[in-house]
Amino acid sequence: MGYIYCPSLMCADFAHLKRELNALQEAGADIVHVDMMDGQYVENFGMGMQDLAVVCREASIPIEVHLMILRPEYHIFKFLELEIDTIYFHPDAVRHPAHLIDTIHNAGKMAGIVLNPETSIGTVVELLYIVDYVMVMMVNPGFSGNAYLPYIEEKVRGLCGLKKQYRFEIEIDGGVDEDIIRRLGDYGADRFVLGTTALFRRKKSYKEVFEELDGINNGQRIEG
């Protein structure tokens, strides 16, 4: 199977959200990535509940929500009632991450945890038994266009070595470009969030970018 590409809608043209979403879908996006923030866990506000409602109404591809909020367990029910496929949260923002994963699963959705640059694998290893996805932040979270942190690649390698044993998939978020997709994809990463560098600030149409990206592994995965 080829890599899964998840454009971060926060980087799109907000004046035309519906049009952008349609253009991304038509161009070949696999999943819509929606960044939600509370101004406390990170110093920014991403997309809001009303934006998310538009995405849920208009999307014909799966939706994943990336919650960069403190205490997501207090707000999770608002998300569980929406047609979202996967909910990602930062385990350090939750009092009982394993319980939150169960809550998400019990609502019939997929659960993912997100590792910040400073979050080591050892602090989440028990959660690897029960999560569907592990997202690795390659930048400090909160803003698109943040600086890529190459030292995190070692953590991606480490996680790739565990994914068969624990049965989870790996998503890469922040600073992604074509070289990074090639390198981390070879390690065994499965999914990539496409932000400013990989997609939105290119001087190419979304369709051209997806054609290029689809050509990267041409369906030939090197299993990590």
The footprint of Zn ion (CB under 5 A) covers: 35, 66, 173
Cross-strand pairs, 130: none
Q: How far is the CB of 182 from ligand DX5 (least distance, A)?
A: 16
Nearer to ligand DX5, 35 or 190 (CB): 35
- Which two structure tokens, joined as six digits, stand for 148? 């890529």
132 given a catalytic annotation: no
Query: For ligand DX5, which stretch binds (CB under 6 A), given 90-98, 101-109, 126-134, 167-175?
Result: 167-175
The verdict on 35 binding ligand DX5 (CB under 6 A) reads yes
Q: Which residue among 174, 185, 188, 224 contacts ligand DX5 (CB under 6 A)?
A: 174
What separation in angstroms does the CA of 163 have from each of 22, 48, 153, 187, 203?
Answer: 33, 32, 15, 11, 36
Nearer to Zn ion, 42 or 219 (CB): 42
Helix (H) / strand (E) element for 20: namely: helix 17-27
The verdict on 173 binding ligand DX5 (CB under 6 A) reads yes
Three-state DSSP state, 32 = strand
Q: Show the site string, 189-218: x = touches ligand DX5 by CB under 6 A, - = not.
A: ----x-xxx---------------------
What separation in angstroms does the CA of 127 have from each of 10, 31, 112, 167, 191?
Answer: 28, 24, 10, 11, 19
**What are the b/e assignments for 88-106, b being 16+ CB within 10 Å?**
bbbbbbbeebeebbebbee
Instruction: Report the distance separating Cα 41 and Cα 182, nearest Å.
Output: 31
Residue 35, sorted as left (phi over 0), alpha (psi -120 to 50) or beta, turns out to be: beta
Nearer to ligand DX5, 161 or 206 (CB): 206
35 given a catalytic annotation: yes
Nearest-CB residue to ligand DX5? 195
Q: Show the site string, 98-137: x = touches ligand DX5 by CB under 6 A, - = not.
A: ----------------------------------------
Catalytically active residues, by annotation:
35, 173
Q: For binding to ligand DX5 (CB under 6 A), which residues are involved?
A: 8, 10-11, 33, 35, 66, 139, 141-146, 173-176, 193, 195-197
